[in-house]
Structures are given as structure tokens and as C-alpha cells.
Amino acid sequence: LGVALAYQVADAVEAVTEPWVQLIQNCVVLVLVVPVGLVLFVRAARPDLRRGYLRRARGPLCALLAVAGSLGFILVVSATRSGNSFRGSAFWLLFLLTWMIFFGLGALVNGVANVFRTADVHEVLPPLVSVALVWVNLVVDLVSGKYGDAPDRVAAFLLWGGPLTVTCLALWELRRLRRGHGLTLRRALGR
């Protein structure tokens, strides 16, 4: 927030709303990355392990459906109410805001924080999916020219700082899983 305001990369309103926009962007990217990551993980596993991983994939799929369902519900109710008269609109507005805060935002925060329960399938998946998420976001930010107005060093720090930090933390987490619990990607895939 301070860097964005100091280098006038964003105005005050945009700098305050940016974390929420980033949360929604992360959720959308995770909704795309998690199923692809799960499919790749299951396909790469030895055939005798696949059925167990598919059974465990119910948790992440239910988490994805919870986000899609809560946000889809908001869109459906908004669309059906927009054509009707404004009688009772205060009730519907309050209802939608309450639903959005408790279910929509809760599902978004919980989904992103827990990487949509990918640890239910195997413990090595959350660090791998997190790395995929931040690098996809980097590509999105590079294509959109997000920090184009900032000096080159600041823009590089803002663009590359997050992905490099998350990658280092994910590698540390994978090392911790290997040393403390004997969990590796190779063993998870049965290779």
C-alpha cells in the first residue's frame, strides 16, 4: 500500500481496494489451476494410487463448488430481482450483502487460504498449487502492465517479489515435509 501510494502506481481508493481485487483474482486463478493441477497429479501417479487420490479429490471439488455456488447464487438472485419492481429491494439488498459477506467472501478467503483443500489429496499439493498460482498471476500482471508507471526497480520488486517469495516458501515447505514426514512428490506419485 505504501509503495503503491509513494510511487503513485495507484490512487488511494485503488490501493485500498487492491487486496480485495487480488483475492478475487487469486480465487478465479485457483478455480482454474486446482482442477488442472489435480488432473495432472492423478494422471502422473502410478495407476494403483489413482483411485485413492480421486476419492480424496472430493474435498477440493466441494470447496470449488462452494465458491461457485455461493457466487452463482448471488448472480442468479441479482438477475431475477433486477427485472422486478423495487418493492422489497432493501430486503433483497440486505439479503445479498449478508450472503455475500458470510458465504461468498468466506468461501473466497477460506478457499484461497487453504488452497481449496488440496492437502486432502496429498500434503505436497498445496505448495505446488501455490507456486502455480503466483506465477500465473505474474504473467497476468506482466501482460496487463500493472506497474508500468513505477520506476523499473520498484516495478521489478512489486512484480517479482511475490512469486519469488512464495516459491522459496513452497520449497521450504516441501523440504520440511520431506525431512519431518518423509513426504516427497516422487513418493506421492509412486515413482
Residue 44 pLDDT? 94
In a domain, 96, yes or no: no
Q: What is the DSSP letter of 106?
A: H
Q: Are 82 and 53 in contact (CB under 8 A)?
A: no
Q: Which range of residues forms the domain containing residue 177?
A: 2-60+111-188
pTM: 0.75
In a domain, 86, yes or no: no
In a domain, 89, yes or no: no
* Three-class DSSP category at 124: coil
The torsion region of residue 111 among left (phi > 0), alpha (psi -120 to 50) and beta comes to alpha
**Which cell numbers hold the place of 39?**
488432473
In a domain, 172, yes or no: yes
Number of domains within the chain: 1
C-alpha separations of 141 from 13, 69, 158, 159 in Å: 19, 28, 10, 7
Q: What is the pLDDT of residues 60-78, one digit of tens each?
A: 888 888 777 777 777 777 6
Give the separation between CA 21 and CA 168, rounded to whole angstroms: 24
In a domain, 169, yes or no: yes
In a domain, 66, yes or no: no
Residues of the chain with pLDDT under 70: 1-17, 19, 78-79, 81-89
In a domain, 97, yes or no: no
